[in-house]
Amino acid sequence: MLDQPVKPQRKIIHVDCDCFYASIEMRDDPALGNRPLAVGGAADRRGVIATCNYEARAYGVRSAMSSRHALKLCPDLLIVKPRFEAYREASREIQAIFRDYTEIIEPLSLDEAFLDVSNAGHFAGSATRIAQDIRRRIWKELRITVSAGVAPNKFLAKIASDWKKPDGLFVITPDQVADFVATLPVSKLHGVGKVTAERLARQGIVGCADLLGWSKLALAREFGSFGERLWNLARGIDERPVQVENRRQSLSVENTYDQDLPDLAACIAQLPGLLEEMNGRLERLDKSYRPDKPFVKVKFHDFSQTTLEQAGAGRDLDSYTQLLSAAHARGGKPVRLLGVGVRLLDLRGMSEQMELFAP
């Protein structure tokens, strides 16, 4: 009998930003730091809290709570209106950092995502070191803290990212899976909500260790098709792949400088190196994409930033120099981050649309 091939070990990272909206508000206005802060609607308009910082959480303020009730719990709470474009831009910047390590990314929302780094070449393939570097770069480049979980599957990676929040990293290695899962309450299992947890409790199942005494058949009889999933999860088994949902819309290269670039001339001097790296990445890009509009991004020393793109412009040094000059003029301040990039046309998507509308 031939030996069965050994399945390669998956390495999954779940990255979750810490109180994302509030973090961006505190970053962009340092005066908001160290005080209870929430992002949401006004209390006099039946507003709801979208998120809050940890100072507010200490008073019992939580997401989805009415703003009126939040102010009763914390009279000093400052509630600011959400700035969704700022949050989307920060999310795009975080996604760009992810793509430096892997293209297998499953965004769950603006502030969290799964990454499959099983075949990543960085740090000799160490998922732990990749997660550490992602956290370091997001803080250095964006001044946002994130928590990360590293595990052999999505179910465990998501639990791990919450284990040492905020600003934490928790790793579950393959040989730790069984012991770790045995300590979990069943409410931590993916797909187990309040109703299912209560139904399990009536069967004497409170923790995952309790599930280990049930056979797969018995669980299937009691809970239908979900029973088999319960049997797997109680043993730390989750074969769901990281689902890449979106095609790329752009390709860019950015650099955050240890010392601010003092003027436009210093910025222009950085362009050749940035463009060389960007063009190298373009050469490795899937042929189903075609480069389109070039763009530059400038983040000034005070974290204000601007992005400028131009249809029909070239991707040569002179064209990017003109774009950078115009973008820099919008702020005229020392620069902490420069980025160059290009929007991408998805030729595969264009082909699919042509087929869809063909007679």
Give catalytic residues, as residue numbers. 112
Q: Are 61 and 74 in contact (CB under 8 A)?
A: yes
Strands 105-109 and 112-116: antiparallel
Question: C-alpha angle 108/112/118, rounded to 5°?
Answer: 90
- Verify cis geometry, omega within 30 degrees of 0, for the bond prior to 272: no
Q: Which residues pair with 116 in a beta bridge?
A: 12
16 a known binding residue?
Answer: yes
CB hemisphere CA count around 130 (13 angstroms): 27
Q: Which residue has the tokens 């998501």?
A: 158
Give the H or E element holding residue 336: strand 335-346
**3-class SS at 201?**
helix
Q: Which residue has the tokens 């050994």?
A: 6
**3-class SS at 184?**
coil
> For residues 263 and 303, what is the distance between their CA atoms, to the nearest angstrom?
16
Q: Which residue has the tokens 């409170």?
A: 206
Residue list, annotated binding site for Mg(2+): 16, 111
Residue list, annotated binding site: 16, 111
